[in-house]
Amino acid sequence: MFNIQQSYDQAAKHDALIIGLFEKKQLTNTAQEVDGFLDGQITTLKKNKKISTKRGKVTPLYTLQKIECDVIYIVGLGKEEELDAEGLREVFAAAGKKAGSDRSKNIAIDLDSFRSEAAELEDLAVLAGESLALSTYQVADYKEKTNEVDVSIEEVTFYAVSGTEGLVEAADCGFAYGKGANRARKLINIPGNLLTPTELAKEAKELADQHGFEYDVLEKEDMEKLGMGALLAVAKGSDEPPKMIVLKYQAKETWDDVLGFVGKGLTFDSGGISIKPRENMHQMKMDMGGAAAVLGAMDIIGEMKPDVNVLAVIPSSENMLNGSALKPGDVIRAMDGKTIEVRNTDAEGRLILADGVAYAKQLGATNLVDVATLTGAVLIALGDCTTGAVTNNESFMEEVLEASVETGEWIWRLPSYKPYRDMLKTSDVADLNNAPGRLAGSITAGLFIGEFAGDTPWVHLDIAGTAWNSKPNNLCPLGGTGVMARTLAQLAMNREEIE
């Protein structure tokens, strides 16, 4: 898909050419060559301020067949000293979305024109590949007639005068990360009647077959034998059978030092007996965003093949209400033997994750990250742009934070002091209370899961605020974001370097 050229050929056939333009910087060699073929139009328009250098502003320039390229997109980059990795994602996405919407299949990028002190060519290639994948993702609809435009880009040529070694591999890496996030987005956006726990298990099996992962799924009978009373209790209110989905990626000879991902796979959440308000309940198809992130990460890992062992565990069910449904006041027993008083049936994610985390430990996970759309409280605390985190191990938390910085997916660590943990012990009839109150709701929810991680280094990621995008932008349309798929994959890649 990606290839490199050092100089521009007037006869090179591209549907579109993308050139970045800083506020105060001369045209690159490639841009000058193209400008010459166009009789100096770029220089003239730039001089007359007909081309905007405002960051993310795309100005189309039609070539009128003077070169074998239909259109040139001049992308404003703003001030060079202010353009960071996040800004580069945005400008590449702006150009990619424009090229995709114009149905450009074969595009070229003057990579030198995006170069600055903050980003070398290899970084630019990674960001370009990732952003092109993310910006051209489209949410599937189910209309009888659709005006959906195919925005897939099939070939990308980078123009760079020097330093081109490794650029194709870098771009492939970025594109793999973007595709993994898009896989997570696709799953989140599927309606709940079409993505049941059974269908989610099929999606995981398809992923396993694609990359050669070991695959297993526990059925209800298996869960009963293992004593997974928390997951089974949540599933009681639904006609859909629960699933415990397992993927194993083993890159080492022995199954030790295993990085474990546990994703909440609640394919629809009504709240159960503690039913949710009707407003926006339709969006609760996204309550399996944690599972989607884990599967997206495994897709990336399958492509990149790091030299680490990775385990993915997805407890999956629906949270519905019928005559058998879990009730407030019920006492249930989790897989590890702890008893739980259910004060709120809408605090079900932590219940299924309790068994998921315990099972991941049983399968050999030595480090654990759970990902879940867990609490509305995290939106109050951090809004919709930052994921909340709770941990029992500071050094492992730093690894996760480092990975999140590299992928531009923001995480904020929440405190886990003893008074918060004590709030979980406020039941008179059970070991744990699943919903001790509104105070510190995101913290106590995370720490509840931590009770089942024990001494295993563990990080909880609450993506309730970041899993769904209600403000479409160039990097992500309305709907699922696929957040944390890239961060989890990057964590695995970084652990390969540590080892």
Identify the active-site residue in 105, 276, 338, 413: 276
Handedness of CA 39, 40, 44, 45 (dihedral sign): positive
- Rounded distance between C-alpha atoms, residue 336 and residue 356, angstroms: 11
Residues 424, 432 contacting (CB under 8 angstroms): yes
Contact 136, 152 (CB under 8 A): yes
Return phi, psi of residue 251, to 5°.
-100, -15
Residue 159: what are its φ and ψ, rounded to 5°? -105, 120
Helix-helix angle 485-498:167-189, to 10 degrees = 140
Q: Is 222 annotated as a binding residue?
A: no
Of the candidates 469, 442, 472, the one whose C-alpha atom is nearest the C-alpha of residue 289 is 469
One-letter amino acid for residue 482 of the chain: G
Place of tokens 């390229």: 69
Residue 276 among the catalytic residues:
yes
Question: Alpha-carbon distance 284 to 487, whole Å?
Answer: 23
Count the Cβ atoms, other than its own, within 10 Å of residue 78. Answer: 18
- H/E segment holding residue 101: helix 85-101
> Residues 354, 332: contact at Cβ < 8 Å?
no
**CA atoms of 244 and 363, how far apart (whole Å):** 13
Residue 70 marked as a ligand binder: no
Sequence-ordered alpha helix ranges (H) in 121-166:
121-135
Q: Is 264 annotated as a binding residue?
A: yes
The answer on whether 39 is annotated among ligand-binding residues is no
Distance, CA of 212 to CA of 207 (rounded, Å): 8
Contact 93, 117 (CB under 8 A): no
Q: Which two three-digit tokens encode residue 104?
A: 């450009």
Cβ atoms of 315 and 264 within 8 Å: the answer is yes
| Interstrand relation of 265-269 and 387-391 (parallel, antiparallel or unpaired) | unpaired
Q: Is 327 a catalytic residue?
A: no
DSSP state of 18: E
The DSSP secondary-structure symbol of 254 reads S
Q: Would you say 71 and 62 are in contact if contact means Cβ atoms under 8 Å apart?
A: yes
Q: What are phi and psi of 482, to 5 degrees?
A: 75, 20
Choice among 46, 350, 361, 486 that is catalytic: 350
- 96, 104 in Cβ contact below 8 A? no
- Amino acid 333 reads R
287 known member of a binding site: yes
> Can you say whether the dihedral through the CA atoms of 352, 310, 125, 108 is positive or negative?
negative
The binding site comprises: 264, 269, 287, 346, 348
Q: Which residues are catalytic?
A: 276, 350
Q: Annotated binding residues for Mn(2+), as ranges?
A: 264, 269, 287, 346, 348
